[in-house]
């Protein structure tokens, strides 16, 4: 009788899983497997059968200066972008949820926190292409640009935000941070909301100031949420094709100062018709992303605090 009940349960679960798993295999695992195969060929993506060339694309890849420039840019993005975004989002989240202090025995956010939540989240509803066009006007290198127009008012010469090799990548990173902060404010606010308010109120009654409340209580209790946010931001740093495509000079310029791997994959595939070489870059990007996620989860792992 028990075996029959288990059989029916497994059959019920299987009937719900078989279609999603099949779709995932066809539309996700299938293209991945195809990309791995194409990376071992010299296929040009138009006509003819791919010719197997083994690891020739990968050998060429590791001697490609543009590829290594893109990897260095990703390394900078992986360090700077998550740190800046998480720091800003945590600061805003703390203000919106606990920054108002204890009022009537309850922890509250700063005045107008509901409005601020909408304002911070607003960039998330804009398409990436729209954000790129918007910041083209912000970063315009002459006095008609918004930032350079403000600098001109105080007597500072216009700055080539997107045409100076030393500034271009940082300028694009600023847009990535601006776009991302709102989502992580919501994410961290949800993490703080999951912590019982009694914990914060007890700490406030014991005389804990905002600094101690944040670093000694809030940060450890939402560490799992921060860990997830760090991984998400790292993956986003590997996937910044659209903004670089729209904002950079000559698609990755000047002088490859802003190029990233997704842009090089697109360029090799659809500009130079080197689909085999582009697939090799895609495979490299796949393993870089997996390595980052695994290392991040390992390095940031800490003992869970139970309440």
Residue 19: HSE in the Cβ half-sphere, 13 Å Cα cutoff: 3
Task: Please name each of the domains of the chain with its CATH number.
Answer: 58-299 (1.10.3720.10)
Q: Which residue has the tokens 């607003």?
A: 122
Query: What pLDDT was estimated at residue 100?
Result: 61
CA 274/CA 265 separation, integer angstroms: 9
CA 32/CA 285 separation, integer angstroms: 12
Query: What pLDDT was estimated at residue 87?
Result: 92
**Strand residue runs (E) in 198-285:** none
End-to-end Cα, the chain, rounded Å: 41
Print pLDDT tens along the chain (307 aa).
445 666 767 776 777 788 888 888 888 888 888 889 989 988 887 766 788 888 899 999 888 899 999 999 999 998 899 999 999 998 888 888 776 655 555 666 677 777 777 788 888 888 888 888 899 888 988 878 888 888 888 888 888 889 888 999 999 999 999 998 988 988 888 888 887 777 777 777 766 667 777 777 778 888 888 888 888 888 888 888 888 888 888 888 888 889 999 999 999 888 888 889 999 999 999 888 888 888 887 776 665 555 5
| In 98-164, alpha helices (H) | 113-121, 128-138, 146-153
Query: What pLDDT was estimated at residue 1?
Result: 46
Query: What pLDDT was estimated at residue 218?
Result: 78
- Look up residue 8 and give its DSSP letter: H
Contact, 63 vs 277, CB < 8 A?
no
Contact, 227 vs 300, CB < 8 A?
yes
Query: What pLDDT was estimated at residue 4?
Result: 65
For residue 297, the tally of other CB atoms under 10 A from its CB is 13
Q: State residue 90 phi and psi, 5-degree precision.
A: -65, -40
- Tokens for 183? 């989502």
CA distances, 44 to each of 32, 166, 262, 280 (Å): 18, 35, 18, 13
CA distances, 205 to each of 73, 100, 192, 198 (Å): 47, 14, 19, 10
Query: What pLDDT was estimated at residue 2?
Result: 45
CA 70/CA 240 separation, integer angstroms: 12
Query: What pLDDT was estimated at residue 72?
Result: 92
Q: Compute the chain's Rg from CA coordinates.
A: 24
CA 236/CA 243 separation, integer angstroms: 11
């Amino acid at each position: 009788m028990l075996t029959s009940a288990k059989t029916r349960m497994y059959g019920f679960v299987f009937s719900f899983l078989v279609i999603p798993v099949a779709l995932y295999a066809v539309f996700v695992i299938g293209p991945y497997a195809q990309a791995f195969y194409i990376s071992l060929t010299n296929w040009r993506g138009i006509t003819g059968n791919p010719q197997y060339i083994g690891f020739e694309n990968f050998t060429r890849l590791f001697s490609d200066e543009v590829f290594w420039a893109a990897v260095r840019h990703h390394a900078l993005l992986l360090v700077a972008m998550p740190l800046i975004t998480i720091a800003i989002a945590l600061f805003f989240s703390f203000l919106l949820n606990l920054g108002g202090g204890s009022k009537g025995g309850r922890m509250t956010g700063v005045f107008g926190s509901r409005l601020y939540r909408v304002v911070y989240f607003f960039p998330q509803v804009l398409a990436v292409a729209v954000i790129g066009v918007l910041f083209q006007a912000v970063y315009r290198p002459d006095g008609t640009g918004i930032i350079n127009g403000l600098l001109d008012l105080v007597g500072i010469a216009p700055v080539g935000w997107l045409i100076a090799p030393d500034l271009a990548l940082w300028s694009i990173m600023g847009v990535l941070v601006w776009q991302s902060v709102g989502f992580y404010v919501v994410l961290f606010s949800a993490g703080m909301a999951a912590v019982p308010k009694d914990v914060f109120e007890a700490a406030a009654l014991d005389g804990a100031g905002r600094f101690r409340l944040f670093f000694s209580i809030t940060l450890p209790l939402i560490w799992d949420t921060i860990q997830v946010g760090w991984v998400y931001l790292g993956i986003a740093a590997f996937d910044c094709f659209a903004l670089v495509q729209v904002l950079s000079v000559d698609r990755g310029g000047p002088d490859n100062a802003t190029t990233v791997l997704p842009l090089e994959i697109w360029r090799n595939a659809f500009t130079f018709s080197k689909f085999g070489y582009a697939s090799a870059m895609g495979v490299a990007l796949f393993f870089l992303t997996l390595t980052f996620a695994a290392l991040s989860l390992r390095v940031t792992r800490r003992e869970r605090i139970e309440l």
